[in-house]
Amino acid sequence: METIGHSFNPNLFEKARLEAWELINKVASKVEIGMSEGDLLKVLEYDSQHVERWWHPTKIRFHQNTICSFRDTSTPNIKLEKDNLFFLDIGPVFYDHEADVGQTFKLGDPSFKNPAQELFSELKQYWMNEGLSGKALYELACEIAERKNLIFNLKMAGHRLSEFPHALHHKGPLKDWSETISSKRWVLEVHLLEKDQSLGYFFEDLLI
């Protein structure tokens, strides 16, 4: 389940990850009041012409659609207003290596602190200090989210990443991985919902 192929290059893998973060932040910086999810997708398409391929469909969620899981369909025709939340989840391939990053932003508020990113950092520290399994990490995630008066959405449950395509090695979620998580093999996804499920917060990155 943590296998990599002969073509896997850790330097290119990390380079792909950094380029993905550069792309997502560039696109997010162009979001404006009155945009729809489709409008932002067009911006992404323009700015991502250097991407070799996409290993998963891009997900763009605006405001109330931030509660949606990966396979959910967005409510159409949502237009962003000032102080609305939005997130992007992109899976580009660079140098034949996969990247997968996701971030939540607040329109007009560059100082916004994403609760999902904060929880990601907490969970990463537990993993580094205690050598947790994927299963233990997601159990802990649910406990911490509850203490923060938030709901952890287990439909967004992490996955492998590698040279393209990682599915040749393993397709299952991180939350079912019962062994200690190896570095540079798994993406940790954090999707938090408000208790009334009015809004959500998303963040994902490679565990390194």
Instruction: Tell me the per-residue pLDDT of 136-188, one tens digit each, with 9 for 90 and over.
Output: 999 999 999 999 999 999 999 999 999 999 999 888 999 999 999 999 999 99
pLDDT at 165: 95
Instruction: Establish if 5 belongs to a structural domain.
Output: no
- The mean pLDDT value for 8-33 works out to 98
Residue 52: both structure tokens together: 């070799």
Domain that holds residue 22: 10-206
Predicted TM-score (pTM) of the model is 0.96
**pLDDT tier at 126, thresholds 50, 70, 90:** very high
Residue 38 has pLDDT above 90, yes or no: yes
Instruction: Establish if 112 belongs to a structural domain.
Output: yes
For residue 81, what is the domain's CATH number? 3.90.230.10
Cα distance between residue 151 and residue 175, in whole Å:
16
pLDDT at 98: 98
Residue 1 has pLDDT above 90, yes or no: no
Instruction: Establish if 201 belongs to a structural domain.
Output: yes
Instruction: Establish if 2 belongs to a structural domain.
Output: no
pLDDT digits (tens, 9 = 90+) for 84-120: 999 999 999 999 999 999 999 999 999 999 999 999 9
Cis geometry, peptide bond prior to residue 92 (ω within 30 degrees of 0): no
The tally of domains found in the chain comes to 1
Instruction: Establish if 82 belongs to a structural domain.
Output: yes
Q: Residues 6 or more apart from 91 whose CB is under 8 A from it?
A: 54, 55, 56, 57, 58, 98, 99, 100
Instruction: Establish if 72 belongs to a structural domain.
Output: yes
